Amino acid sequence: MEEAEFALPSETDSFSPKIGLVLGSGLGGFTDSLSDSLSIPYSDIEGLPESGAPGHAGQLHFGTLAGSEIVAAQGRVHIYEGWSAKEVASTVRLFHQIGVRTIILTNAAGIVNANLKPGRWMLISDHLNLARQSPLTGAATFIDQTDVYSRSLREFLKAEASEMEDFRLSEGVYAWVNGPEYETPAEVRMLRTLGADAVGMSTVPEAIQARALGMRVIGLSCLTNYGAGLSGQPLSHDEVVEVGMQAAKDLFRLLERAVPAMGEV
């Protein structure tokens, strides 16, 4: 048998979540809503890179959400910290190793389509890999990317969201850029021309990795700010984290409804 890539502390053996969640900037507070939870720092897991960016704590939480077992990764690493796309996608391979088959990737993103509003969530329908890096580099892994983000799960989430009070779920294309600097106004105009609705520095390598492993993927962008040049205001990471913290409550409301039925969709 092939040796496992990751070694987890034995306390995690009693958990067998089928659904995994990756939390983006400012969304870590979500884990307070999990019951019966066990938290493991990334440093206790052999094989995982450790994250250091502000707002990315670096812990794995096992717990239940509305009665369903899930695992949530709070904090991820990015290519702007110097990690490769393959290292960035480690969490996804770890989730797969422990039996996760549906993964929900969340992020904070800037708005490129001016019809969208800060504070809202956008379901990712497709992506643009503008960082031009892949977690699959090194082997001839020619995976199909027609439906990276599960069509049936998207339809299901949209139907759930439409029944919620004061919650509007948009849908659109997410562009992955290297960062760490935010875009220039000219770059935001370019991204719009290319067909992007939102822009961010994560999620795409994890989505590619998850599809390569045959997992079902959901991508959810928390639209924290207008992209450069769209509002006349400068961008700040503090604002991104602040808006994310507010929006984490809406994410919880949506997932609390959706997760228990997600296995059957």
- List Cα–Cα distances, 145 to 12, 20, 83, 91, 193, in angstroms: 33, 21, 24, 20, 21
- Is residue 238 exposed (0-12), middle (13-18) or buried (19+ Cβ within 10 Å)? exposed
Token pair 């929900």 in the structure block, residue: 104
| Nearer to ligand HPA (CB atom), residue 100 or residue 131 | 131
| Nearer to ligand HPA (CB atom), residue 25 or residue 102 | 25
Contacts 24+ apart (CB under 8 A), 157-162: 157/123, 157/218, 157/254, 157/258, 158/123, 160/254, 160/257, 160/258, 161/254
Q: Is 182 a catalytic residue?
A: no
Q: How far is the CB of 107 from ligand HPA (least distance, A)?
A: 7
Q: Is 107 a catalytic residue?
A: no
| Nearer to ligand HPA (CB atom), residue 5 or residue 181 | 181
What is the b/e burial string over 55-80, where b = at least 16 CB atoms within 10 angstroms of the residue's CB?
A: bbebbbbbbbbeebbbbbbbbbbbbe
Q: How far is the CB of 180 from ligand HPA (least distance, A)?
A: 9
Q: Is 113 a catalytic residue?
A: no
Catalytic option among 72, 85, 89, 108 = 108
Q: Is 201 a catalytic residue?
A: yes
| Nearer to ligand HPA (CB atom), residue 70 or residue 199 | 199
Classify residue 72 by its DSSP letter.
Answer: E
Question: Which residues form the interface with ligand HPA (CB under 6 A)?
Answer: 108-110, 182-183, 199-201, 224-225, 227, 235, 240
Q: Is 81 a catalytic residue?
A: yes
Q: Is 237 a catalytic residue?
A: yes
Q: How far is the CB of 198 from ligand HPA (least distance, A)?
A: 8
Q: How far is the CB of 157 from ligand HPA (least distance, A)?
A: 21
Q: Is 78 a catalytic residue?
A: yes
Active site residues per annotation: 25, 56, 78, 80-81, 108, 201-202, 225, 237
